Structures are given as structure tokens and as C-alpha cells.
Structure 1
Amino acid sequence: MENFPGKIAIMGGGSWATALAKIVLSNQPEMNWYMRRQEVIEEFKQAKHNPSYLSAVTFDTERIHFSTDINEIVDRSDLLIFATPSPFFKNHLKQLRVPLRDKTILSAIKGLVPDENMLITDYLAECYQVSLDRLAVIAGPCHAEEVALGRLSYLTLACKDLDRARALAPIFTNDFMRTSCSRDVRGMEYASVLKNIYAIVAGICHGMKYGDNFQAVFISNAIKEMQRFLGSAHTLPRDISDSAYLGDLLVTAYSRYSRNRTFGSMIGKGYSVKTAQLEMEMIAEGYYGAKCIYEINERYQVDMPILDTLYAILYERQSPQAVIRRMTETFK
């Protein structure tokens, strides 16, 4: 991997993409950045910060090449860091005319490809002929808002080629960021989806005035449910208590920065699903993830009462009070 990682690009303009850009530029002299809207780029250049997300983080825009042309950014980059919402991932790629097979791709997307119900790395491997050795994921308990504040955080990089993961790690290591490496690509991808699902249910329970005692029991049941699913979907040795699994679940279920918890809390307080979605300023990935994992689990038939509860609330429009009560009866 001589000259690795080469030229780096951030793909996406949201809060997580902005946080990752801050980390990358703490270690790299320059980077490319794909954003969808030209007016956002122009305002970014003028104000020296993202006008829509994490506006307290300032950037030396002379070190950034912005473009709304995904083909231009892909063509001039070697490492692509995707941080777009999962529901829009396919639409971005549909514009591509430049091949991806010679690129290294790092997914920071905490969701699945809708309709196909595919992991991001599986979709890139199958539809864009990217080798699994060139596909990596990044995960862990790391809210973009705390990255913006420079608070100590931990990330895990996973790749089938562990040497490639280790080569990526220095890009994301600085005074406030620590990194570790893993081979559990699929397990970490699924865990990133599941923790958003559980965070919505934790939020619903919070909105319904369930207390801290219950939330502790909820989390212990959620991590066991996650372990059951991962054990069926991807039989690779893992320690479920590692920060990429349990740690990410805890911060997403408890933190005031968690959009999935906020979305759930609104439903628990009596908002309809549609109204809660309209009032959210950002996408709650767990809404889409719940349907994807529910359909995937029709194949595995894992016992997942928390997932089933959320699916019943979001997609079958069942009463949160009734289905949450039934769920609590399965807990120990």
C-alpha cells in the first residue's frame, strides 16, 4: 500500500461528515469534499464553516477542494469516506460515471441500503465491483457534536484486510480521538444499524416516563438481542462489550445529542410518526433501519422483541403504550 491513503475525500455535507472532515484535516494537508448543493459550498467558503451543521467548527477552506460533481471528486481521490444518510446513498451513486473498483472506500454510514436491505459494503462489492479488501467501516460511540468540541472520543476501523485498517487509523488519531482496528466489518455495520433502532425505543420509553431503573434493564436486553442477531447474521468472534457495539449503543440510547432517541421520545410523548419526522431537523436512521432489519430477520428468525416492538409502532401504527407494555414482559 505504497503512498496510501493518497488523496482523501469526504462524501456528504451533514454533521457527521463535517466532524470527520475536522478529524481528517487535523492530520492531512488538504482534502476533497463532495457536497450536493452549490449554494452551501459558496456560503461555506465565505463563512469558513458549514452553514447548516456544526457551525462552531471553523475550517481553513484553502485546504479544501469542494465540488458538487461526484465524478470529479471520485476521479481525483484515492480514499472515499462516505457519510451520507443511508436513504440517499443509492441516488448519489447513480450519478457516477467513474469506476470505484480501484478506490479504498470507508463507510461512516450507520444504515442499510433500503429496498435491497443490503449492508453498504455488500452493495459496493456487488454493484460496483469493489474488492472486500478495499472496503472498510468506521464506528463507535462518537457524536459529531462532541467531536466539534474536541472531547475525547474513540473510533474503531474495520476491514477484511487488517493492515489496511491499521494504515487508515492514523488519519483519525489526534489529541482528542483514539482508534482501534478490527476485521468485523459486517458485525460493526449491523451493530450501527441496531443501536439506532434500540435508541428509538429507549426514547419512546423515556417519553412515556419510564425511569432510569427500566432504561438500565432495557439496555441489558438490547445488547443481548444485538448479540443474538450478530451471531446469526455474521458468525465471527467478537466481544459485544467493545465500544463499537455496547459503547455505541449506550451513547446513542442515552445522549441528548442522539437524533434517534429524540425521535423516539417525541413518539413516546404522543407525536405521530409522521409529525415527529416532520419536526426532526435531521434523519433518524433507525426509522429506516427498523424495516430493513425486520425484513432481514424473516430469514434468520432471531428472537428480537425490541425490534418487533419498534416495527409495530412505526410501520403497523400500533399503540406505543400497548406494544411497549408487551415488550417489558419479555425482559429479565
Structure 2
Amino acid sequence: MSFLNNTKIAVIGGGSWATALIKILCEQPNVQIRWWLRNHDDIEHIRKFHHNPSYLSDVALSPKKIKVFEKTTEAVKGTDYVILAVPAAFVREALQDLSEKHLKGKRIVSAIKGMIPGENILVTDWIAREYHIGLNETCVIAGPCHAEEVALEKQSYLSIASTECATSEDFAKLMTCRYIAANPLDDLYGVEYAAVMKNIIALACGITHGLGYGDNFQAVLVSNAMEEIGNFVTALDPRERNMSSSAYLGDLLVTAYSQFSRNRLFGNMIGRGYSVKAAQLEMKMIAEGYFATKSINELNKKYHVNLPITTAVYRILYEDQAPALVMDELKKLLK
């Protein structure tokens, strides 16, 4: 099945990543977008002034291509794809008005780099369970890519992964434009778990930066992190995959090093002495790595993979252990 001609796409979420994805989709001549946002004032502003006042406000939004809705049931009506671009912690709330019939026959795209808190499962698995949608009709969007650089139309790359090649290939075509190269893959779980874990590593990088560690240490930290991610992904989904490719290593690098990384920023605040609550209050956006740290820690009780970096971040965020002491212990484990 191909949805490339006169495609209708619902986007659920009003943040920077949702706005960036809409900007990319607007580059396609035969795409219509139905956009759901939570904030009523933002909806009215977009209808009147054609830009998102809260995120990436410089991005012009085409009124000919975009319709904005206050109800998810209206936003998904008649669409071919539904893109989920809300924090993982709010997926249930955002989709609470939708039933199985609302999503029947649609392809679901997760642009969420997190896990469902409390259940410790991937967003794609949760969607499959709750709405009885086959994984072959589901795909995920991963990086390496930041919303802020999409807004500036800097050359960027996306990884589109599904269990079904045709699904990832179709959606990759929709996400390809003059400044975006979208690459299809058939490794849904590998890409999704790697995207979750790279946010934890970015937190660790931010914490060490806040503590005054330099570039030399961060290079070792990220190198060890790639091995940690690879071991965990392989334990959960054994198969041949090149962890050095951009879908895995590239996504990790941009999140660990970029000035736009909210997870790195959150970690940096923790390293500088902020409490978790204070850092969350000061940040305007959600750091997915905070929730992912607990989910991966809980999930690993079943698999028993050696995850020294993830464990260190968990001790700092959830056991209130001193970042300086925890990182001093961690550095002795790295090689």
C-alpha cells in the first residue's frame, strides 16, 4: 500500500519536534496536514498568524496545507498517517479520546524517543497493544536531527524504521526534501531502543560537563556508551545491525554533543547542583532521558546487561546520590 499521492497526515503534539516535522511535510506538494495541539491559545494564534508562538516561532506554517484542531478525533479523521510527537509520559493523555476505530486503517508514526512510564514498554508496542495495530503498519522517526536545525533548513538526516520495508520506504519519501535526507530501515526495535538510550547518555554527558569534566573524558564516555547501547539492544532484539551507522551512533553523537540537546542541558543543570525538581521547573521542554532512565533500569532487571552509565544516571536522578561521587566511581569503570 502506498500513500504518496494526496496524502493526509495527522500530527499529534504542539512542541518543537512536531513543528519541525510539519515544516518538513509542508515541502511535499501533495500532502495535507491536520494538526492537534493541547493549548487553545496556541491554536488560535496559529490560525491567525500561521506560526507556533511557543516553539520554533520563526517557522512559517502554510495555511493552505495545515488545519489545526482542538480534538484528536477530528484531527485524525480521514488521514492516512498519524504522527505522534508528544512526550512519552503524556501519550496516554493525548490519545485518551481515540478508540481503535479512529485509528483503523492508518499507519502510525512514532516521533517519540521515550518509553511509556510505569509500563516500561516502547511507544510502538503500546500502540500495537492498545489499538490493535500491526507493527508492519507502524514506524519510528529517529535522528540524527534536531528540530532547531530543521527550522534553519540546515542539511539534516532522519532514520525511518519499521518491521516492514514498504512502510519505512513510503514514509521516508514523505520526509525527504531539499534539506532532509530520510533513510528507511527495517530495524524498528533497534532504532527505537537506541533512541531511548541515547537520551540517557546525553544526560550523563551533561552531568559530567556540569561537574567540569572536559572533552577528553566525554569522548571516552560516549565511546563506552555506544558499546552499552549495543549490548542492551542486542540482548532485547538479537540480529545483525551496524551500530556505527547514523541511525545509532549518529543519533547518539548529536544528542550527546549538541547545544540544542535538552537532555544534555538537563544533565548539565544536575551536574551544576540543581535538584531534579528545580531543573524540571526551569526547563520549558521535557527531557525524555529522565523517564527513560527509570524505564531502562527496570527493564534491565530481566536482562541483566552491564549498563554502568545508565546505572550511574539512575543513582543520581532517582536515588539522590551526589553526582560528583557517582561519576568518580563511573570513570574507573570506563576504558
Common fold, TM-score beyond 0.5?
yes
2:113–2:195 CA contact under 8 A, matched in 1: yes
Code of the residue aligned with 1:263 in structure 2: it is: F
Residues 201 and 2 (structure 1 numbering): CA distance in 2 closer, same or farther, change over 3 Å?
closer
**Equivalent runs, 1:139-154 vs 2, <5 Å:** 139-154=142-157
For 2:315 and 2:57, the matched residues in 1 are separated by 37
Match of 2:72 in 1: 70
- Encode CA deviations 1:192-236: one digit per residue, 9 max, x unaligned: 110000000100000011011101101100000000100101112
Q: Which residue of 2 aligns with 1:18?
A: 19
- Relative distance call for 1:73 and 1:269 in structure 2 (3 A) is same
Distance 1:3 1:148 in 2: 26
SS in 2 for 1:321: helix
Instruction: Tell me the equivalent position of 1:37.
Output: 39
Shift of residue 4 of structure 1? Answer: 4.6
Percentage of identical aligned residues: 47
Give the drift of 1:75. Answer: 2.1
Partners of 1:182 and 1:45 in 2: CA distance: 36
Residues 194 and 289 in structure 1, CA contact (< 8 A), matched pair in contact too: yes
Would you say 1:220 and 2:214 are equivalent positions? no
Distance in 1 (CA, whole Å) between partners of 2:232 and 2:3 is 39
* Change beyond 3 A, Cα 1:99–1:48: closer
Distance 2:227 2:152 in 1: 32
* Alpha-carbon spacing, 1:325–1:33, altered in 2? closer, same or farther (3 Å): same
**Amino acid in structure 2 at the alignment position of 1:14:** G
Larger displacement relative to structure 2 (87-96 or 298-307): 87-96
Distance 2:303 2:145 in 1: 30
Q: Which runs of 5+ in 1 are unaligned?
A: none
Distance 1:2 1:145, change over 3 A: closer
Q: Which residue of 2 aligns with 1:245?
A: 248
Code of the aligned partner of 1:48? H
Unaligned runs of 5+ in 2: none
Contact 2:12–2:82 (Cα < 8 Å) also in 1? yes
**Matched positions, count:** 332
1:118-157 equivalence runs, <5 A = 118-157=121-160
- Distance in 2 of aligned mates of 1:60 and 1:230: 40
Q: Is the deviation greater in 275-284 or in 99-108?
A: 99-108
Quote the Cα distance in structure 2 between the aligned partners of 1:72 and 1:205: 45
Q: Deviations over 1:287-330 (max 9, x none)?
A: 00000000000000000000000000000001111111111100
**Alignment RMSD, CA only?**
1.1
Which residue type is aligned with residue 53 of structure 2? P
Quote how far apart the aligned CAs of 1:46 are.
Answer: 1.9
Q: Secondary structure at the match of 2:127?
A: helix
Residue number in structure 1 paired with 2:213: 210
Any residues of structure 2 matched to 1:228-243 within 5 Å, and which? 228-243=231-246
Cα separation, 1, equivalents of 2:43 and 2:267? 32
Q: Secondary structure at the match of 2:230?
A: helix
1:107 aligns with 2:110: yes
Q: Distance in 1 between matches of 2:195 and 2:204?
A: 15
Q: Describe how 1:169-184 pairs up with structure 2 within 5 A.
A: 169-184=172-187
| 1:255-274 equivalence runs, <5 A | 255-274=258-277
